[in-house]
Structure 1
Amino acid sequence: MGLCLADFEGCWRLSRRIDDARAGLTGRLEGDALFAPGQGGLVLTETGRLCYGDGPPLNAERRYTWREEAGGIAVFFEDGRPFHWFSSDAPETRHDCPPDLYHVRYDFSAWPEWRAVWQVSGPRKDYVMESHYTRVTGCGGVPER
């Protein structure tokens, strides 16, 4: 299945689980992901409520920019630094952030639902984070795809 950047535009329901082996805790985030035009591509804004261990729920938000590049999608941090590149034909990649290593596997087999599974390891981190995205239609004036 060949996906292009425009296939992601719009609103998604986000459900995330974080299994933190180092801390011995599990986190859950329920929220939304919006892919909206901007910054030469699509700006992904994820918002939600994070419950981590027994702590009180926290509001969480993060942003990335996704751009079409080299036959796939290049992902950038909010400040413009490169993060990683992937395509539907090459859905696994990594980001080296010494001393930790981030490995991601995207799964588009149930499109328009999709998942991203991050395995993060190193001297400071040891967790698996699985995010599940489900299309939401007719949100905020963003066209349906």
Structure 2
Amino acid sequence: MIILDDFAGEWCLSRHIEDALAKGTARLEGFCRFEPQEGGLLCTEGGTLSLPGRETGFTAERRYLWQTDPIGIAVFFDDGQFFHRFDPNDPAPRADHDCAPDAYAVRYDFSNWPLWSAVWRVRGPRKDYLSKSIYRRG
């Protein structure tokens, strides 16, 4: 059984973002760190983001707050706004987030824990991409 505290610590992060509109693939190589914070774990993802058509990458970083939830885990943006929730023990954990006019859908895979992944499908008037992230203990 996977619980929130099992995520605590440092993870290596590898992400590929297949952008249908830009007709290219961006890559992020970096880290994902879960640190205890009042009410849950502060999740910081960061690393070097390489975009198609650019010779050099640049530093990117994003933070979320993960908290225990009756369903399993609730994820919030760093400003406190709700993002999504999922059950890490569901055989096929998934969640959706509507941010009109865009729609976000994630599918998690914890079947090879502690190696895990998140695949986001994002669609909207100016967005159409598939983001595949692999996390492994650092």
The TM-score bracket by the shorter chain reads over 0.9
Q: CA deviation at 1:39?
A: 3.8
Report what 1:62 is aligned to. Answer: 62
- TM-score in terms of structure 1 length: 0.90
4+ residue runs over 6 A deviation: none
Q: CA deviation at 1:98?
A: 0.4
- d(CA) in 2 for partners of 1:99 and 1:71? 27
| Correspondence 1:51 to 2:50 | yes
SS in 2 for 1:115: strand
User: In angstroms, what is the RMSD of aligned CA positions?
Assistant: 0.9
SS in 2 for 1:71: coil
- d(CA) in 2 for partners of 1:132 and 1:78? 22
Report what 2:29 is aligned to. Answer: 30
Report what 1:121 is aligned to. Answer: 123
Query: Deviations 1:50-105 (Å, cap 9, x if unpaired)?
Result: 00102131100000000001130000000000000001216111000000100000
Query: Deviations 1:7-37 (Å, cap 9, x if unpaired)?
Result: 1000000000000001112100000110000
Q: Give the 5 Å matches for 1:125-136.
A: 125-136=127-138
- d(CA) in 2 for partners of 1:35 and 1:94? 22
Higher strand share: 2
- d(CA) in 2 for partners of 1:111 and 1:17? 20
Contact 2:71 2:85 in 1 (8 A): no
Q: Give the 5 Å matches for 1:51-90.
A: 51-55=50-54, 56-88=56-88, 89=90
**Could you tell me the percent identity over the aligned residues?**
55
- TM-score in terms of structure 2 length: 0.95
Task: Give the counterpart letter for 1:43 in structure 2.
Answer: L
SS in 1 for 2:50: strand
- d(CA) in 2 for partners of 1:39 and 1:19? 35
- d(CA) in 2 for partners of 1:86 and 1:53? 32
Contact 1:3 1:87 in 2 (8 A): no
| Greater relative CO (CA pairs within 8 A, separation 6+) | 1
Aligned pair count reads 135
Report what 1:4 is aligned to. Answer: 3
SS in 1 for 2:112: coil
